[in-house]
Chain A
Amino acid sequence: MTNSSQDKAPLLEIDRLSVDYGLKGVSLRAIDDVSFALRPGEAVGLVGESGSGKTTTAMAIAGLLSPNARVSSGVVRYRGNRLPIDDDAAMRPHRWSETSVVFQGAMNALNPVHRVMKQIAEPCVLKLGMSRSEATARARELLELVGIPADRGVAYPHELSGGMRQRVMIAMALACRPSIIIGDEPTTALDVITQAQILKLLGELRSQLNLALILITHDLSVVAESCDRVMIMYAGRIVEDGTVAEIFANPKHPYTRLLIDTIPNPANGKKIIRPIPGDPPNLISRPPGCAFHPRCPSAMGVCATEVPGLDKFGRARVACHLHRSSQEDKVAIHA
């Protein structure tokens, strides 16, 4: 899968993207110089704590930046064409037809006063111009596809379990046959068993419909089960990028290593979540140098003064001085 997708032209390219949020004249950099590409059918995980910029990255790709956000540099290209991600009206045709989002569907991502059938059919009517009966037929088809009996479509969101609501969200996301689906913490509020079912469903649909998937999560174990590639973000920058196998077998960045350590080990039968010591990144007063150095167990002098570039190691990328010093001869893609 991974090898075959490497050969295709990228579906989506994010090129040196930076996004700021404005607040009473002060501006905060939410994502800083983020670059990556997504190929058709590929599944990429974006992993980080809150404030890491993973959600802002996803919202920028979907054209859903909030009004106080500003794209200060960089471009997003979809099938080679630049997306007007900072123009709300111009992004409208792209939304849901090309890129759709599976939100954390727990309760509020679905409108509580409308039947789920209506909410699934809505984009079919508004974007594809279907008649009401065509749209209903499509909605029934989609419900069956995500494993919900079509007759349950008359239910309101509050009448469904968390897992069912998440399935409805997925059915809704598939309505206009998009080529990219962004999963924004799609399994976070669910119990472990339901979580596994939803991830399995996403995986099946992905290969069945040749969907590219961007999975936003704070939980590396979710990525391990469902993605080809993973990018670790910290304080608005990508700090490590590699295949799932590489990252888990040989994490290069100290932050990645700590993230892997926090995954509860089912082998000893206990779910102990060990948080990473120190405070999550504070965007208002970002530390100089590598943003992670105050929490980094391997921090050196240079870490506090110089921002490490994202260097290539074969297909992987790492932004860390530890690896930089021994790899001076490597070509840095960002100086």
Chain B
Amino acid sequence: MAVGGLGGKTSRRIGSILIRAVMTLLMVATLNFILFRVIPGDPATLLLGGARVSVNAEQIEAQRQNWGLDRPLFPDQMVDYLSATLRGDLGYSFKFRGRHVADLILERLPATIALVGLAQLAAILCGVMLGLYAGWRRGGAFDRVATGASLALYSTPSFWLAMILVVIFSTTLGWLPGYGIYSPGASIGAADRFLDYLRHLALPVSAVALGLIGQYVVVARAAMSDVVTEDYMVTARAKGLTGGQMLMRHAFRNAMLPIVTLISLNLGYVVAGAITVEAVFAWPGIGGLTVEALNARDYPVLQGIFLLLGASIVGANLLADVAYGILDPRVRQ
């Protein structure tokens, strides 16, 4: 119970969180390394951009030396690979001849961040609030409707939702664009252009967000259902608090604890949803790039995307641990 003991516990906790993060990234990079060496074909040629690039024997030999491809796979080549990855050198794209994978990814990242960020924000605000309320009024009419609808949304592939939204709001009603990021044609002012961008964002964001809302309602409802049966809620009631006071002062923060963790663990699924939704709307983000890379079997790009997703998932988990520490005094100090 001494303060020093708690400090030790906390630093151990931070230590183990960081070790887990590093381990996960290391395994992502190792998987990339193994997969790339497994692909049929000469690694040197592959590293130069695949069979479609014409290279002469000298270049291949230089590459072989450069990458140490004549040295043993483990540990030499793997260490080289990992250190290159660490420097941000992800190799060259097969499809976009000779372009750096990192450049290609960075180019496409903003469009995806806008899509995922907005969808995630909308889903957290709506989904968590609705779910907390459903859990608070567990068994009531609102709870039943919200839970049923959420389970259905949760089971719906986001890209299918996207296609349905396009059929309804774009093809049939003609309210919103169902394709691309800007309307083609006439050059317009900056303000109009931004509006145009937002109109193009509406359907993709809705498609990703709706699927997430389903999940967050389920998660938040479960968290709140657990909290309302806790002893401290009985204490709060015994203290003569009103329902609203019990909810805001005692239930809310405790219910947020598991929600924070689950939302961060969920980032992988958010990205999965976004990738397929981008494919529906030809949204020029990471999802679009993924589809292009898949079709062209552009492995370096695919692996770069994999690394990016791994890093963002690890980052989200770290963020959740920090948030958890702020919300829950039991792990803080």
Tell me, yes or no, whether A and B come into direct contact in the complex with CB atoms closer than 8 A.
yes
How far apart sit A122 and B241, CA to CA, in the bound complex (Å)? Answer: 9
Binds A, one of B84-92, B95-103, B245-253: B245-253
Contacts A96-B238, A96-B239, A109-B232 known; A158 to B250 CB distance under 8 Å? no
Q: Which of A109, A126, A158 contacts B330 (CB 8 A)?
A: A158
B40 within 8 A of A: no
Whole-angstrom distance from the CB of B143 to the nearest CB of chain A?
14
Whole-angstrom distance from the CB of A165 to the nearest CB of chain B?
12
- Convert A91-104 into 0s and 1s, putting 1 for each residue whose CB lies closer than 8 angstroms to a CB of B: 01111110011011
B230 within 8 A of A: yes
Interface residues of chain A: helix, strand, loop or mixed (majority): loop
Q: Are B329 and A158 in contact (CB under 8 A)?
A: yes
Please give the number of chain B residues whose Cβ is less than 8 angstroms from any Cβ of chain A in the complex.
24
Residues A150-198 near B (CB distance < 8 A): 156, 158-159, 161, 172
Whole-angstrom distance from the CB of A322 to the nearest CB of chain B?
39
Q: Are A122 and B254 in contact (CB under 8 A)?
A: no
A62 within 8 A of B: yes
- Convert A291-319 into 0s and 1s, putting 1 for each residue whose CB lies closer than 8 angstroms to a CB of B: 00000000000000000000000000000
How far apart sit A110 and B234, CA to CA, in the bound complex (Å)? Answer: 10
Q: Are B254 and A113 in contact (CB under 8 A)?
A: yes
How far apart sit A161 and B1, CA to CA, in the bound complex (Å)? Answer: 8
Contacts of A103 in B (CB 8 A): 231, 234-235, 238
How far apart sit A62 and B239, CA to CA, in the bound complex (Å)? Answer: 10
Contacts A113-B253, A113-B254 known; A122 to B239 CB distance under 8 Å? yes
Contacts of A100 in B (CB 8 A): 238-239
Contacts A110-B232, A111-B250 known; A96 to B240 CB distance under 8 Å? yes
Contacts of B232 in A (CB 8 A): 108-112
Q: Are B240 and A93 in contact (CB under 8 A)?
A: yes
- Convert B1-23 into 0s and 1s, putting 1 for each residue whose CB lies closer than 8 angstroms to a CB of A: 10000100000000000000000
How far apart sit A112 and B6, CA to CA, in the bound complex (Å)? Answer: 16
B237 within 8 A of A: yes
How far apart sit A161 and B249, CA to CA, in the bound complex (Å)? Answer: 24
Contacts of B236 in A (CB 8 A): 111
How far apart sit A108 and B227, CA to CA, in the bound complex (Å)? Answer: 11
Whole-angstrom distance from the CB of B223 to the nearest CB of chain A?
13
B262 within 8 A of A: no
Q: Are A113 and B329 in contact (CB under 8 A)?
A: yes
Contacts of A109 in B (CB 8 A): 231-232, 234-235
B311 within 8 A of A: no
Contacts of A108 in B (CB 8 A): 230-232
Contacts of B253 in A (CB 8 A): 113
A205 within 8 A of B: no
A64 within 8 A of B: yes
Q: Are B234 and A127 in contact (CB under 8 A)?
A: no
Contacts A97-B240, A113-B329, A122-B249 known; A159 to B1 CB distance under 8 Å? yes
Whole-angstrom distance from the CB of B7 to the nearest CB of chain A?
13
A10 within 8 A of B: no
Residues B203-254 near A (CB distance < 8 A): 230-232, 234-242, 245, 249-250, 253-254
How far apart sit A95 and B246, CA to CA, in the bound complex (Å)? Answer: 14
How far apart sit A211 and B6, CA to CA, in the bound complex (Å)? Answer: 39
Contacts of B238 in A (CB 8 A): 62, 64, 95-96, 100-101, 103
Q: Are A112 and B254 in contact (CB under 8 A)?
A: yes
How far apart sit A123 and B241, CA to CA, in the bound complex (Å)? Answer: 8
Contacts A111-B254, A112-B330, A159-B1 known; A123 to B240 CB distance under 8 Å? yes
How far apart sit A103 and B232, CA to CA, in the bound complex (Å)? Answer: 9
Across the A-B interface, give the 10 residue pairs with the lowest CB-CB distance, nearest first.
Answer: A95-B240, A108-B231, A111-B232, A156-B329, A96-B240, A109-B231, A101-B238, A123-B239, A96-B239, A109-B235
Q: Using a CB–CB distance below 8 Å, which chain A residues touch chain B?
A: 62, 64, 92-97, 100-101, 103-104, 108-114, 122-123, 126-127, 156, 158-159, 161, 172
23 A-B pairs with C-beta separation under 8 A: A94-B240, A95-B238, A96-B239, A96-B240, A101-B235, A103-B231, A103-B235, A103-B238, A108-B231, A108-B232, A109-B231, A109-B235, A110-B235, A111-B235, A111-B236, A113-B327, A122-B249, A126-B241, A126-B245, A127-B240, A158-B329, A159-B6, A172-B239
